[in-house]
Amino acid sequence: MIRLSTGVRLVEVERGGAVESVHTGHVVVLDAEGGVRYSAGDPSQVVFARSSLKPLQAVGMLGTGLKLSRPETALAVASHSGSDQHRQLIEQWLQAGGLDESDLACPPALPIGQAECRAYLAAGKTESRIAMNCSGKHTAMLLSCLANDWPISGYLAPSHPLQQRLAVAVGELAGEPVAATAIDGCGAPLFGLSLTAVARAFSRIATADGEPARVAEAMRAHPELVAGERRAATTLMRRVPGLIAKDGAEGVFAAALPDGGALAVKIDDGAGRAADCAAAWALHHLGVDTGLLPELIGAPVLGGGDPVGVIRPAPGW
């Protein structure tokens, strides 16, 4: 059983001059040569990196011969907010492949973006598989099966040829074998790796040729498709030239610069607000001007609708 050791104090939440919450976790920052520039906690232990693994899986799908445009590749990587743009592009993509929403095996859901969800419900819509944030990955998985004459029925089974190929691709990019397999929230197989291996994989995607380069180029060209407006991954990729970044559920975040410098974060209590802050702050160890990211490093805490505090990096790192 994977059981995380408790990490170190990474993020504090201040309200009215008092620290009311603390988020502990683990972080690793690699330099362009793959050496550890900074670490805290235990980044060698195995974690489920959740949707931060989607760029690795996308590389694996392209490696099966799947042909995708840049927007489609970005959606294959995405944990999208469920905007009209996201949903319409995925619906068109399915139709072009002779598929429809009923072929997706991800569960029906509402958009995960707050504004997107409000607009979706106001339009009288209900939970759907296309609105589910992983629908882009699932569409790419279905099309990978069609491109290789693999059955689309049961495409999420760990024994399916596609998932077997993706497990190998993830291990190769990470530079270590998959240590554990579980089922992600969307129903797809989920692979356990060390946090250091996740950062190493992002470094390779940011710098390698071939399929990794196609994934990195798509993420850089379409950060709004990878996440969405007001989302940390999109903000980071827009503000930091050449950066690729991907969040994951339960407080995971990974990113890499075009020179190969990379980072990965895991927050012990799974808080996304802390992962966003910690990942943005970790970039200063790679020479990034984190003053470009005030809404991530210093997000306001509200009281009565007004700022009364701040979410900030804990002192000392």
Q: What are the distances in angstroms from CA 17 to CA 301, 309, 311?
A: 11, 7, 12
**Which CATH number among 3.40.710, 1.10.3470, 3.60.70, 1.20.1740 corresponds to the domain 8-313?**
3.40.710
Q: How confident is the model at residue 275 (pLDDT cuts 50, 70, 90)?
A: very high
- Predicted confidence at residue 4, as pLDDT, reads 85
- Predicted confidence at residue 2, as pLDDT, reads 75
The model's pLDDT over 134-189, given as tens digits with 9 standing for 90+, comes to 999 999 999 999 999 999 999 999 999 999 999 999 999 999 999 999 999 999 99
- Predicted confidence at residue 133, as pLDDT, reads 98
pLDDT at 287 over 80: yes
DSSP 304: T
Contact of 37 with 29, CB cutoff 8 Å: yes
**Closest to 249 measured CA to CA, from 80, 51, 11:** 51
- Predicted confidence at residue 228, as pLDDT, reads 97
The model's pLDDT over 82-129, given as tens digits with 9 standing for 90+, comes to 999 999 999 999 999 999 999 999 999 999 999 999 999 999 999 999
- Predicted confidence at residue 72, as pLDDT, reads 98
Q: What pTM did the predictor assign? A: 0.96
Domain boundaries, the chain: 8-313
The model's pLDDT over 14-36, given as tens digits with 9 standing for 90+, comes to 999 999 999 999 999 999 999 99
- Predicted confidence at residue 183, as pLDDT, reads 97
**Closest to 202 measured CA to CA, from 24, 47, 59:** 59
The sign one gets for the Cα dihedral 259, 24, 236, 50 is: positive
Q: What average pLDDT does range 65-77 have in this prediction? A: 98
The model's pLDDT over 207-235, given as tens digits with 9 standing for 90+, comes to 999 999 999 999 999 999 999 999 999 99
- Predicted confidence at residue 169, as pLDDT, reads 97
